[in-house]
Amino acid sequence: MQLSDGTTQPPTLHPMPFTRVEVALLSLVENRLCVLLGKRQEAPYKGRWAIPGGVVRIDLDADLEAAARRVARERLNVSLPYLRQIGAVGGAARDPRAPWALSVVYRALVDAQALAATPGKRLETLGWWPADAVQEAKPAFDHGALVAQAVDALRAEVDRLELPFGFLPPTFTLGELQALCEALLGRRLDKSSFRRRLAERDLLEPVPGEMRTGAFRPAQLYRARSLTN
């Protein structure tokens, strides 16, 4: 609503939720799917692990994704290449600091080594926790559930062969692709049904003349078909 002095005023007198963004970063560390947690420097949950997050700043952030990128810069000293929104959680019982707290949660699959995150504002230290052991960290707030959602969403994509091509090297053998998918899923895949499903979906194309030679017989190198269109 435009006021006569040129400022705007919220269209409601109701108090609004305490609104934050949280960023779940996933990576393979020593061939296991891990999530980046930061140890909190302040109450509530001081000394407990949490996924990095911060308040939406309507004076700074053009939109929700910009808020998530700013929070990642402030907390982790990194620029994130690529983010996917998981969704929003909100309710009266989520955060002892506020009567009602809403978080919009993002996830990204990153190269932990290339990213080189370091603890920023309000975080004492950072740690990569194995996705399947994150509950042992006893995460702050409802962040255990948020991590589980991020991990489930990534694994559902891999299960559907929505492959993380941005995370893969530009060319790879089918064996390398299967090993990557197995590491992300945390379980073994049947080789012949994996290859049959890949072929049916026509996701890959061989790189002409490119073979990888190694201890065993040479293997054809492939790349994502979409990258060449």
CA 128-40-85 angle, to 5 degrees, is 60
Candidates 8-16, 128-136, 138-146, 177-185; binding stretch for its own copies (CB under 8 A): 8-16
Which x/- pattern over 23-62 shows residues binding its own copies (rule: CB under 8 A)? Answer: --------------------------------xxxxx-xx
Q: Is 19 in the site for its own copies (CB under 8 A)?
A: yes
Instruction: Output the smallest distance, CB 30 to its own copies, in A.
Output: 32
Q: Which residue in the set 77, 85, 171, 220 belongs to the binding site for its own copies (CB under 8 A)?
A: 85
Contacting residues for 129 by C-beta, under 8 A, at least 6 apart: 34, 35, 36, 37, 49, 136, 137
**Number of chain residues interacting with its own copies (CB under 8 A):** 39
Distance, in Å, from the CA atom of 38 to the CA atom of 117, rounded to the nearest integer, reads 10
Candidates 2-10, 170-178, 181-189, 214-222; binding stretch for its own copies (CB under 8 A):
2-10
On whether the CB atoms of residues 163 and 177 are closer than 8 A, the answer is yes
Name the strand (E) or helix (H) holding 151: helix 143-159
How far, in Å, CA of 60 to CA of 127, rounded?
28
Q: Which residues bind its own copies (CB under 8 A)?
A: 1-2, 8, 10-12, 14-19, 55-59, 61-64, 67, 85-92, 95-100, 102, 104, 160
